[in-house]
Chains A and B, each alone.
Chain A
Amino acid sequence: MDFSVVVRNLDFLILQGLLGFGNFVGGTLRLAIPAIVLGFVLGIFVGLGRLARSPWIRIPATVYVEFFRGVPLVMVIFWFWFIIPVLLRVALPEYGVALTAFVVFEAAYLGEIVRAGIQSVPRGQMEAATATGLTQTQTMLYVILPQALRNMIPALVTQFIVLFKDPSLASIIGYVDLTKAAQIVNNREIRPFELYLFIAVVYWLCTYSMSLYARYLEKRLTPA
């Protein structure tokens, strides 16, 4: 066991692989963080759409969820990689393709979490807000969503953790995330045990801190 290989390649692994600053398009966090934020925003709309009274909104939202949940993320990445240039007559860069694929794909899962979260809020809350004259949008914004979000935290964090590790799938279009960076180093140094153990620790530290933050948030959002 010789961990000097990790030390020698630390800047490449962390800067390029984890953060995305380097000569290659890549970075686990650089893809995961915007994907989580944008995917969640889109997911809220998908989740609300699933609960809409109008079938013109509800049915497309349901089809969206069922479709993207049913296909692998790698395939979605491939589609955007090959189909967008044909349809739009512009070639998207790797980062654009990967981010679009992630957001579109994750919004289906997150939308279901949002839907379940909203449905977990007792009906009486909606009725009470309606009875005081709040509009549907105000009711959603001030009464239902704040309670729903708190109930969603455990499921959301699980999904965010899954998503955090998924940039490795974008390596099929040349995206250099943490796993790919380790692979590149290993091809040169042939130290698989040390390298893959090291990135496992990095992954674990990141996801575990997400868990800890979620626990803190859940506690803080539980009223008194």
Chain B
Amino acid sequence: MVEFQRVNKWYGSLHVLREISLRIEQGEVVVVCGPSGSGKSTLIRCVNGLEPIQSGEIVVGGKRLSDPSLDMTALRAEIGFVFQQFNLYPHLSVMENIVLAPLKVKKAPRPEAEKIARRLLERVGIPDKASAYPANLSGGQQQRVAIARALAMQPKIMLFDEPTSALDPEMISEVLEVMTDLAKDGMTMVVVTHEMGFARRVAHRVLFMDEGQIVEEGDPQRFFDSPASPRTKQFLSKILSH
């Protein structure tokens, strides 16, 4: 589904991704964790081309991102992305937030787009908020709308960039529940998060990144119970100790 082949990325002289090679299979749920500045957000932002890379190759659904004839816009439409700060459109209602891309990109007829939007709002647990504006929703509700907005394009893969980091603690679980359901339905997901409980319960594989490299990866049980790298052990002891 997604493949990184010796990917390198720099911000100026800062080497943020170092020789990253990675394969993510269809239906797989991969959690990426690591200290801030380790390159984990950059990693998933490269998948839909929000960030350009300087060397190596990324292949998404069989398409090479470096291919100059690639229709990047069409590819992005198949990749759902959920941001840490939600990034809902504040001037549009919840319904309009969700139907904008289906209407404009897929040229879907409005009644159909709205029907799908209502079903998605139901799925994320806020069917009564269609006419509300983002400013009137709690953080957890906003993030669930953002997930619905991404799902409205019927993506083949969902990328989550620290989806719960900007939320109050009591709202984290409502977002994680939606994500867990999504994983159970077989969605291919890459999730950058510090929610280790979620990783343990839902992920098929956990990656640990540090200084632009994938230091360790494995299935959750092995990853949490017997990490090989001392750097991983140190990181886990810090975030699991409280």
Query: CB within 8 Å of B: which residues of A?
Result: 122, 124-125, 127-135, 138, 142-143, 146-147, 150, 221, 223-224
Contact = CB atoms under 8 A, between A and B. Distances in A.
B76 A130 contact: yes
A90 to B, nearest CB: 44
Given A133-B74, A223-B91, A224-B135, A127 B50 contact: yes
Contacts of A125: 87, 89
A223 B94 CA distance: 11
B150 interface: yes
Contacts of A147: 89-91
Contacts of B78: 133
B100 interface: yes
B78 to A, nearest CB: 8
Contacts of B74: 133
Interface in B31-88: 48, 50, 73-74, 76-81, 83, 85, 87-88
Name the interface size band of chain B: 20 to 34
B87 A130 contact: no
A135 B73 contact: yes
Nearest to A125: B87
Considering the complex of A and B, which 8 residue pairs feature the smallest CB-CB distances, nearest first? A133-B77, A132-B101, A128-B87, A131-B81, A124-B87, A223-B133, A224-B133, A133-B105
B149 interface: yes
B104 interface: yes
B83 A132 contact: no
B136 interface: yes
Contacts of A135: 73
15 contacts: A124-B87, A128-B89, A129-B89, A131-B50, A131-B79, A132-B77, A132-B105, A132-B153, A133-B78, A133-B105, A138-B105, A142-B104, A146-B91, A223-B90, A224-B135
Q: Which of A127, A146, A147, A150 has the most CB of B within 10 A?
A: A127
Contact of B83 (A128, A138, A143, A146): A128
B91 A133 contact: no
Nearest to B134: A223
A211 to B, nearest CB: 23
Contacts of A150: 91
Contacts of A133: 73-74, 76-78, 101, 105, 153
Interface of B: 48, 50, 73-74, 76-81, 83, 85, 87-92, 100-101, 104-105, 132-136, 146, 149-150, 153
Q: Is the interface of A mostly helix, strand, loop or mixed?
A: helix
A71 B45 CA distance: 45
A162 B142 CA distance: 41
Q: Which of A128, A133, A146 has the most CB of B within 10 A?
A: A133
A150 B153 CA distance: 28
A47 B129 CA distance: 36
Contacts of B146: 128
A63 to B, nearest CB: 29
Contacts of B80: 131
Nearest to A131: B81
Contact of A132 (B91, B132, B149): B149
Nearest to A133: B77
A148 to B, nearest CB: 10
A133 B155 CA distance: 11
A131 B100 contact: no
A93 to B, nearest CB: 42
A135 B76 CA distance: 10
Contacts of A127: 50, 83, 87
A223 B137 CA distance: 12
Nearest to B97: A128
B76 A132 contact: yes
Nearest to B135: A223
A147 B97 CA distance: 14
Given A127-B83, A130-B50, A147-B91, 18 more contacts: A128-B87, A129-B101, A131-B79, A131-B81, A132-B100, A133-B73, A133-B76, A133-B77, A133-B105, A134-B101, A134-B105, A135-B73, A142-B100, A143-B89, A147-B89, A221-B91, A223-B91, A224-B135
